[in-house]
C-alpha cells in the first residue's frame, strides 16, 4: 500500500475532482474550468512527486492533447458540451494511452445507462414537490441535455486503480 501520507492524500485528488465534476454537471449542467485545471495540475504534482519518468508524463500528455483535439471537434459540432470535452482530456492525462479504450468503453456504457434513465424519467409525470428543485426540473425537461460529465467521471474512477500513477504510488 502507499507508505507516504502526502502521496496518499494526493492520490485522493483525482477521485475528489471526479466527484466534484459529476455533481457540478448534475446540478448545474456545467463543469467549471477550475476543476479541469486542478486535474491537470494535480497530475503533474503527483507524477513528479512519485518520480514518474518524463517519458511517461510526456506520453500521457500526448494522450490528453489527442483527446482534447477529438473532443474539441465533437464540441464544435454540438455533439458534446465544452466541459465534457475538457473533462475527458484532463482525465486522459491521468489514464494514458494504455487505458484510453477502457475509459472510452466505460464512459459509453455509463453514459448509455445515464441517458436511458433520463429519457425514461422524462416520460414520467414529475411530481410537483420534485419540480420545485430547479436541477430536477431541468433534467426532466425534454429539451435539456444529459449531464454526461457524470458518465465521464464514473468511467475515470472505474479505470483509476489500473493507471500508471496509481500503480506507482501503490508500489506495484
- The domain limits of the chain are 5-170
So what's the pLDDT on residue 119?
A: 93
So what's the pLDDT on residue 105?
A: 98
CA distance 91 to 142: 29
Residue with cell 466527484: 19
Do the beta carbons of residue 160 and residue 37 sit within 8 Å?
no
Angle value at C-alpha 48, between 149 and 89, nearest 5 degrees: 20
What angle do the packed helices 82-95 and 13-28 form, to 10 degrees? Answer: 170
CA distance 88 to 21: 11
So what's the pLDDT on residue 169?
A: 81
Q: How far is CA 75 from the centre of its chain?
A: 16
pLDDT tens for the 172 residues of the chain, in order: 445 666 667 778 999 999 999 999 999 999 999 999 999 999 999 999 889 999 999 999 999 999 999 999 999 999 999 999 999 999 999 999 999 999 999 999 999 999 999 999 999 888 889 888 988 889 899 888 899 999 999 999 999 999 999 888 877 6
Neighbours of 38 (CB within 10 A): 18
Amino acid at each position: 500500500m502507499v507508505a507516504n501520507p502526502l502521496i496518499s492524500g494526493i492520490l485522493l485528488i483525482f477521485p475528489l475532482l471526479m466527484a466534484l465534476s459529476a455533481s457540478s454537471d448534475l446540478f448545474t449542467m456545467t463543469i467549471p474550468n477550475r476543476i479541469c485545471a486542478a486535474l491537470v495540475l494535480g497530475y503533474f504534482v503527483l507524477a513528479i512527486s512519485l518520480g514518474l519518468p518524463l517519458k511517461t508524463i510526456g506520453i500521457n500528455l500526448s494522450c490528453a492533447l489527442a483527446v482534447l483535439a477529438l473532443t474539441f471537434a465533437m464540441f464544435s459540432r454540438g455533439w458534446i458540451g465544452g466541459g465534457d470535452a475538457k473533462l475527458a482530456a484532463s482525465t486522459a492525462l491521468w489514464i494514458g494511452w494504455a487505458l484510453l479504450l477502457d475509459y472510452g468503453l466505460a464512459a459509453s456504457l455509463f453514459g448509455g445507462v445515464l441517458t436511458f434513465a433520463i429519457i425514461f424519467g422524462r416520460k414520467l409525470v414529475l411530481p410537483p414537490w420534485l419540480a420545485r428543485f430547479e436541477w430536477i426540473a431541468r433534467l426532466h425537461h425534454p429539451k435539456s441535455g444529459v449531464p454526461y460529465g457524470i458518465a465521464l467521471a464514473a468511467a475515470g474512477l472505474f479505470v483509476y486503480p489500473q493507471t500508471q500513477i496509481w500503480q506507482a504510488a501503490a508500489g506495484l
